[in-house]
Amino acid sequence: MPPSSHQTLGLKRLLPLVSLAGTLLLAAAPSFAAAGSATVHPQLWPRLRSPLPPDPALERRVRALLARMSVEAKVGQMIQADIKYVTPAEVRRYRLGSILAGGNSGPDGGQYGTATQWKKLADAYYRASIDQPAGTPIVPVMFGIDAVHGHNNLVGSTLFPQNVGLGATRDPSLIRQIGAVTAQELRASGINWTFAPTLTVPQDRRWGRSYEGYSENPKLVAAYAGQIVAGLEGAVGTPQFLDASHVIATAKHFVGDGGTHDGKDQGDTEVSEKVLRDVHAAGYPPAIEAGVQVVMVSFSSWNGVKMAGNKGLITDVLKDRMGFDGIVLGDWNAHGQVPGCSNEDCAAAYNAGLDMLEAPDSWKGLYQHTLAEVKSGLIPMSRVDDAVTRILRVKMRLGLFRPGLPGDNPLARSSAAVIGNPAHRALARRAVRESLVLLKNQDGLLPLDPRRRILVAGDGADNISKQNGGWTLTWQGTGLSNANFPGATSIWAGIAAQVKAAGGTAQLSVDGSYTHKPDAAIVVFGEDPYAEFQGDLPNLAYRPGNDRDLDLLRRLRKQGVPVVAVFLTGRPLWMNREINAANAFVVAWLPGSEGEGIADVLLRTRDGRVDHDFRGRLPYSWPRTAVQTALDLGQPHYHPQFPYGYGQTYAHPQNLAPLPEVAGMVLRATRAGVYLAHGKPASGFALEITGANGQTAAVTATPAASTDGSLKVGAVDYKAQEDARSLSWSGAGEASVALRTAVPLDLDRETNGDVLLVTTLRIDALSPHGSLIGAGCGKGCGARVPIGKQLAALPRGKWLRLGLPLKCLRAAGADMRRLRSPFRWTSSAGERVVIADVALGTVADDTLACPGH
């Protein structure tokens, strides 16, 4: 069904905000690089220049400071380390230019922190950076963090809807205000730099980072880009630009991160240069014109060339043609994927134009190699001086050389009055209201009368973590409870408050059971939190093979209860069955900390008025089947279930005809990164045992044993009947159990991203000779990581999730790009363990340390 005229006007109002220099208004040229070619034609890209007026005095200061710096100090400025892997003393010694707090890195060894903790940490690194011997040039350190929907690493902060929800608002002024509030809460915690905004234009929603993009439509992304940058940094040409209430912004990930083949994270964007420019780079000209000071380069490739090594796009286009004079930053060890490079050594990335490499755990080796390469001339001194000039320029624009600790700025001194204050939360609540998209409202069920009896069900109803999604306190947004979000409001709490105030009755029942029949039910459900890797999908089916939410909707309808479905999601998914089962269907995206914004729209006032109508419009096209993965506005044969821009309102009511329930595929449970589930090998994997005699046998049924009897396998009950496997070693010599696949696994990107191999197990007894976890990658290729001493410290007879960083396997010799066996447990007589699941993850009850760490 086509969008009505009032649905398309929102975008038309945005178009004047798109820069006339932007990529979208350029005419096509026949000399563009075609799809498959990585040849760059800079003259066909927008010609821009820095919006900042010339500042001769600042440039003289930069040159003077640069002239006094040693080569060692210059190299230090070009490296960024993670707080988990670098101490203040090391920042002082190596004179590092910046530090970051990655997704799971927080103060005091935690994953997130309070304002007091963050300020103390920022002050410690700052003090270290300026504590240099007399006569040594002083260059204060910058501190960056991923504040992507508010200051999402800070306990008690205001958390806004994720970008996918903000795209639904079609409200650029709101985006600017959100940027300003985020900057204030960052400054209040002592942080002066955010790795935002994300200007990706996702074209395949199987990508686990799709929710970080505002829209599939490059025009909407371009309209937002300048606004969010101006909110974070302040307006260029005003006294507010990079003042004590604003922070450095980072436009990311340049360029093509949202266009990779099959939506694979860090994959290859196989498009023509024109598409790269007009679609994927659409947000960069307006961001540059708004004064963005940092551009982060993508992990991904363009037509086979890794962006971190693409001189044509970094130097020739971004710096020279588009006039960007700030810092070009690499992503998390992304330089290690450039051919000929490793995480600890990549002259090619610097020579391509990267000014600063993000080397969270590899910074020390990178420093040593880079220093040697600069001294040898492999990295020219002219390239070093250009990089450091840009770094010093940005630091001076930020006012970093003015005296004062990060934790002593005016906002930090009054952090309790700034962070999560009522005005900030009111803005977030408004954003929630504006982001909601109404797909269905049969016979005008909504808005509900709050004076009636309302049942609130579903596992998302009273789950603040779930309503926030990934990049919330932790990298993947998992392992959290409502107690981790002081000041936040769950969707249930918001509904309950308004119903109680109106004189009605609200009941929370996750499973939908009740004692008194309700007049209506609001069922809140959806995707569990995820970020990259964990969020990647093979198709667009919503929870294939798991009909729990569908069954709940249908059961309530069968009982004669009108049902409002509220869907929490980072992307459109095929769920025609769920939409058909509900009387009304609302897409709430990932709304953030202010769940009461949903009650504002779903409920009438106590006197029966409608205070807030639906305003949200789909920022992405909604799929007609689970395999309709190529679905973007303007493509040939565009035929979605709901088009880009669709959204019903109370003012223009309409009923929805039943939707077809043909998924286009068999709805079977599939999840990437699962190797053993409920005691059974995942699809494509086999369980095998190798005895002390070296003979290997497949385990096709239990009980089973190696040919020499040194390892026996049995079936044990964990949470269900025979959903775990017992392993018992006896006899002389080592024996092992392994999971093997015929198709090699490429876990290189997951290894780079600090992903764990998580084993759900129970340790009953350990061999006195020790245990090993290993991986195999072919003949003569593999890893064996000794874990016996660490296992000895764990409790016996207790189920737990044991995590081993994938990087431990890489360090022990495994080629993570071609694993045949991602899991092998080796031990000897006396060991007894029970294993239920083996999978990739980011959270474990206990995480093993790599040997030597």
Three-state SS string over 726-787 comes to: EEEECCCCCEEEEEEECCCECCHHHHHCCCEEEEEEEEEECCCCCCEEEEECCCCCEEEEEC
Q: Cis link prior to 703 (omega < 30° from 0)?
A: yes
Give whole-number Cα distances, 790 to 127, 770, 804, in Å.
Answer: 36, 10, 11
Cα(123)–Cα(105) distance, rounded to whole angstroms?
17
Residue with tokens 């990298």: 475
Cα(829)–Cα(770) distance, rounded to whole angstroms?
10
Q: What six digits make up the tokens of 15?
A: 């178009």
Cα(586)–Cα(509) distance, rounded to whole angstroms?
19
pTM: 0.90
Q: What six digits make up the tokens of 346?
A: 């990549």
From 754, 765, 835, 753, select the one nearest 802 (Cα to Cα).
835
State which H helix or E strand residue 462 sits in.
none
Q: Are strands 193-194 and 142-145 parallel, antiparallel or unpaired?
A: parallel
Q: What six digits make up the tokens of 653?
A: 């009511």
DSSP state of 360: T
From 383, 291, 323, select the one nearest 74 (Cα to Cα).
383
What's at 575, amino acid-wise? M
pLDDT at 826: 97
Cα(70)–Cα(807) distance, rounded to whole angstroms?
34
Residue with tokens 């990049």: 471
Q: Which residues of the chain are modeled with pLDDT < 50?
A: 1-30
DSSP string, 203-216: S-TTSTTGGGSS-S
From 813, 684, 693, select the one nearest 742 (Cα to Cα).
684
> Which segments within 56-159 are labelled E, that is strand?
79-82, 98-101, 142-145
| 422-427, long-range: CB < 8 A, 24+ apart | 424/158, 424/181, 424/184, 424/185, 425/158, 425/487, 425/593, 425/594, 427/158, 427/160, 427/174, 427/177, 427/178, 427/181
Please say whether the beta carbons of 269 and 314 come within 8 A.
no
pLDDT at 31: 65
pLDDT at 545: 87
Please say whether the beta carbons of 153 and 110 come within 8 A.
no
What's at 385, amino acid-wise? D
Helix spans in 483-637 (H): 491-502, 548-558, 576-581, 596-602
Supply the Cα-derived Rg of the chain in whole angstroms.
Answer: 27
Please say whether the beta carbons of 196 and 213 come within 8 A.
no
SS3 content of the chain, % helix, strand, coil (to 5): 30, 20, 50
Other CB atoms within 10 A of residue 284 CB: 28
From 82, 77, 83, select the one nearest 96 (Cα to Cα).
77
Cα(853)–Cα(778) distance, rounded to whole angstroms?
27
Sheet holding 79-82, edge to edge: 193-194, 142-145, 98-101, 79-82, 357-358
Q: What six digits make up the tokens of 808?
A: 């431990």
pLDDT at 853: 58
pLDDT at 630: 83
Cα(473)–Cα(476) distance, rounded to whole angstroms?
9
Q: Are strands 680-681 and 674-677 parallel, antiparallel or unpaired?
A: antiparallel
Q: What six digits make up the tokens of 122?
A: 């920022």
Any residues with CB less than 8 A from the CB of 558 and at least 6 apart, and which? none
pLDDT at 19: 38
Please say whether the beta carbons of 8 and 645 come within 8 A.
yes
Cα(402)–Cα(408) distance, rounded to whole angstroms?
12
How far from chain centre, in Å, is Cα 265?
11
Cite the active site residues.
331, 532
Please say whether the beta carbons of 124 and 168 come within 8 A.
no
Q: What six digits make up the tokens of 56?
A: 């001769």
pLDDT at 30: 45
Cα(693)–Cα(680) distance, rounded to whole angstroms?
25
Q: Are strands 772-776 and 782-786 parallel, antiparallel or unpaired?
A: antiparallel
Cα(733)–Cα(475) distance, rounded to whole angstroms?
41
Q: Are strands 250-254 and 294-297 parallel, antiparallel or unpaired?
A: parallel
Please say whether the beta carbons of 447 and 520 come within 8 A.
no
